[in-house]
Amino acid sequence: MNAKALGLAAGAAVGASALWWRKNPSACPYGQRFWIEAPHPFVTRARLREVLALAPGERVLEVGPGTGYYSLHVAGWIAPGQLDIFDLQQEMLDHTMRRAREAGIENIVPSRGDARELAYADRTFDAAYLVTVLGEIPDQEAALRDLARVLRPGGRLVVGELFGDPHWVSPGRLLERAERAGLAFAERSGTPLGYFARFVRR
Ligand SMILES: C[S@@+](CC[C@H](N)C(=O)[O-])C[C@H]1O[C@@H](n2cnc3c(N)ncnc32)[C@H](O)[C@@H]1O
């Protein structure tokens, strides 16, 4: 096979695998965590902080923390409040908690489970966020509904998405699903290549 044919075959394989991931939402395996440990362009920590408008003392939920790219910073911003992290994979929670211990951070509480059924009482949180997670969940609307349930009335939900992620959720799709889940759109920040959208629980 010549170089051009090889290139075309590789491109087709990458395209087919991206399509497969889109059609079969599933969690990014712990073994592939190098993707989420790289810098996150457009969906930066500084932009998340601005959109979430956190205040010290708040109780905040992060769904799908991965290896804690945002968690350690958010925990610092809300101290003496509490950050609850919730993930399908125990290895992701253990990894984040190990990093938190090493950094001397004590206000993060982990729980394992599926975002479609959050293990928290109604109206528990002042704010919640999830970044490059929603598209990995097979029933996005169920997850958004349960997020709305655990937010206090007026509580904020921020969803972050990065273009190029095989599980990317477009702003339009997100808006439709969030509205149906009882969340009102408030603001979007970012670029067409990566954005944060803020919603408020009705
Ligand atoms: C692509 S990683 C993003 C990690 C982190 N938010 C970041 O941006 O660095 C997706 C994370 O969501 C978690 N996840 C996927 N589906 C989930 C579900 N149904 N319930 C809870 N967590 C889930 C994965 O285990 C993984 O930790």
* Residue identifier of the C-alpha nearest atom 4 of ligand 1: 66
Quick one: pLDDT at residue 18?
57
What pLDDT digit, counting tens, does each position of 115-154 carry?
999 999 999 999 999 999 999 999 999 999 999 999 999 9
- How far apart CA 186 and CA 181 sit, in angstroms, is 15
pLDDT at 25: 87
Q: In this structure, what DSSP letter does residue 121 have?
A: -
Distances (CA, A) of 77 to 93, 137, 143, 194: 20, 28, 26, 23
Note the pTM of the prediction, 2 decimals. Answer: 0.91
For the stretch 148-169, pLDDT in tens is 999 999 999 999 999 999 999 9
Mean pLDDT calculated for residue range 22-34 = 85
What percent of the chain shows pLDDT beyond 70?
A: 89
pLDDT at 83 over 80: yes
DSSP 50-117: HHHT--TT-EEEEE--TTTTTHHHHHHHHTTSEEEEEES-HHHHHHHHHHHHHTT---EEEEE--TTS
117: Cα separation from own chain's centroid: 16
Find tokens 């044919």 and name the residue. Answer: 5
CATH superfamily of 25-201: Vaccinia Virus protein VP39 (3.40.50.150)
> Ligand 1: which residues within 6 Å by Cβ?
27-28, 36, 40, 63-66, 69, 87-89, 92, 114-115, 131-133, 136-137
Percentage of residues in the chain having pLDDT higher than 90: 83
Average pLDDT, the chain: 92
Longest CA span, the chain: 62
